[in-house]
Structure 1
Amino acid sequence: MTTELPGVGQPPRRRLRTGTLVTALTATFALLCCGGGSAAFFLTNLGGERDNLVSNEMTCEQDHKVDVTGDMPRMSDYGDSQLRNAAIIIKVGQEMKVPPRGWVIAVGTAMQESALRNLANSTVRGSRDIPNEGVGRDHDSVGLFQQRAGWGSVTERMTPSYAARKFYEKLLQVDGWEQLSLTRAAQKVQISAYPDAYAKHEDTAAKIVNALAKGAARTVQIADKAVCDRASAKTIAASGWTAPVPGGVGSGFRTRSRPRHNGVDIAARKGTPIHAAASGRVLVARCDPDHNGRRDCDVDGYPNKGGCGWFVDILHAGGYLTRYCHMVQKPLVVPGQEVKAGEMIGRVGSSGNSSGPHLHFEVHRDRDRSSAGAIDPVPWMRQRGAPLDGSA
């Protein structure tokens, strides 16, 4: 019996409840991907529902100035005072001319350190002279970023704008910080005892920045300007995401003609570099067996082959997973490897069940590699400033 890759073109299984984790490396579901004449290259109407995690986000505008005194947006997990603190963090970043990627990192860091509350320690809590919003866990750490004595006086560290400025000053000293995942960038500044704790906040931090700064997490820096929805290949959006290859979307997600197609096909020349869509950890990098159990991915596929060919699965912050199929040769990464957003992981080919060179690209949520976890990558990537069709 052939063990085959889950989730590419099989009938949708029962939708798992949000938060349910599927054992990614042991699932065995049927596979059928991307075959069928020239279907991969004709533009189609994209099927599938919009991902409800992104459909309500702010559109991307040219003016990203944040208002720290006006009404705050409503968010289920964060109240008015917490979002106002996030607005102050963003405003300081704007004053210091830090690119929006830095705002996402700073907000995400404060989410982990203080839940965006200006926390005191037990000594400060008893003082009427220093306003605070609760008591933190560390005896000498205070403020939004839980900074210790070396960062300034207690009064300074309990001033949100001061704390944010000190964070940005340290962040800007980190080499290549804009290409790092939030958790790695934050750890370079904070030197936390729990270095991986920041990762879970990256997606929500981007949403907060979008809501407070008019879609700023969807921008990339081009000629020192924040430009909306243009992240591609090595150009990383403030959200931390980028389109894996330049090109146009052909066969779409679960269309009427292909209801089992759990991703989209992006036309590209054979040998075109494929880049990681975001920072993460490689789960799988191998040749997927064809329908007869053979592993001969160095030969172009359709109509005699099946499967995904040479492919890679990458796990990202927030439990999201991306899949890259039909590579021309063995991937350039290996399981367990940490990759940065925009890092080259392979080249476009036509291995597996493929009618011609293209990248089959999928996005899954809840760490679910099966078809139950697949979502339409077109609206999802656009909401992160990395449209798959390359349009602005």
Structure 2
Amino acid sequence: MKIRSLVTAAIAVVAVVVLCAGGLGGLLTGNTTADACLPIHPSTEPTAAPAETVGAWPRVGDWDDEQVTNAATIVTTGARLGVPARGWVIAVATAMQESSLRNLPGGDRDSVGLFQQRPGQGWGTPVQLQDPAYAAAAFYAKLLTVTGWQRMPLTDAAQAVQTSAHPDAYAAWEHPAAQLVTAIAVHTRLPAHGMTGCGPAGPWIQPVLAPVGSAFRSRERPGHDGVDLSVPRGTTIRAASAGTVRTVRCNAIDRGTGREWGCHRDGDPDLTAGCGWYVDIDHPGGVMTRYCHLDKPPIVTVGQQVTVGEPIGVVGSTGRSSGPHLHYEVHLRGDASAAGAVNPVPFMASKGAPLGSSQNAAVAPAHRRSITDRSTA
């Protein structure tokens, strides 16, 4: 089905759609509950005006009135079409990358408008694509055909729609888009908590797309407080959910001397203790996630607010490890010690982001033997 037909179908929706009453708060905090949902009736066509305007547009970062107005069109169009709020952030981030939120009359080849959509690829006529509301509806129509888009990293979901020559470029806009969308949602009095709809797919994603290797506290390794996800060195690691960075640290000790082994080189399963470069992120409800063996210093800092899917570093083999992989842990009650660790496999499944799922496009060969001990706190 051509994009134009999908847009027409989306605009013609008159049935009740479900949007979480919580709106953007849960997008950034991870709060979703089935009883937080209420029905809203979308209009029969998208509109460039926000649902309700209260004074001047909010000032967020360096975005000017034209850019914020275009972002508001994207957000309110998504809301009226019943698109979960995660989709609003994906759409705004995409438009930030493609056009800097300006309604461009032209671009590369026959690209037009906020999303640089091409009439020659069936997105619509040039006149239609210069209408921000139509362009946003076209983007959402294609996004909703992408299986599992809510659980994907933002840049992957955007790329599935756009098929850009620079597929990783969208990731840089996730945090600015989330900030701007949140301000618009509050300003226009869209629902202010919740984000990804009312189904089982919550605001969690797999930190990397990979098969599960070494299991949580197996008989052979009772002190293994997480699971190992086998992917090549340099693979981007993403925050599994929104939260606040608690720890950024190099933890690699020479087991023979007790001195620093360092994270400037790979570790060894027999000679090295510790998690190597690692990151801890606190999430709402006392949940904490841990990401070990990063190849380089993480690209986040302590106290930083991160959004779901935001890059935090890359896979490596620092600390007690025998090959590149991500060691991933989940802790409850805010307890970073072994006492707070739970099996990440059922936990992530309960969040609608099962580890080792079929979202993985290319399975990396398992490393020889991944080992992470508890000397990380």
TM-score w.r.t. length of structure 1 = 0.47
**Larger relative helix fraction:** 2
TM-score w.r.t. length of structure 2 = 0.49
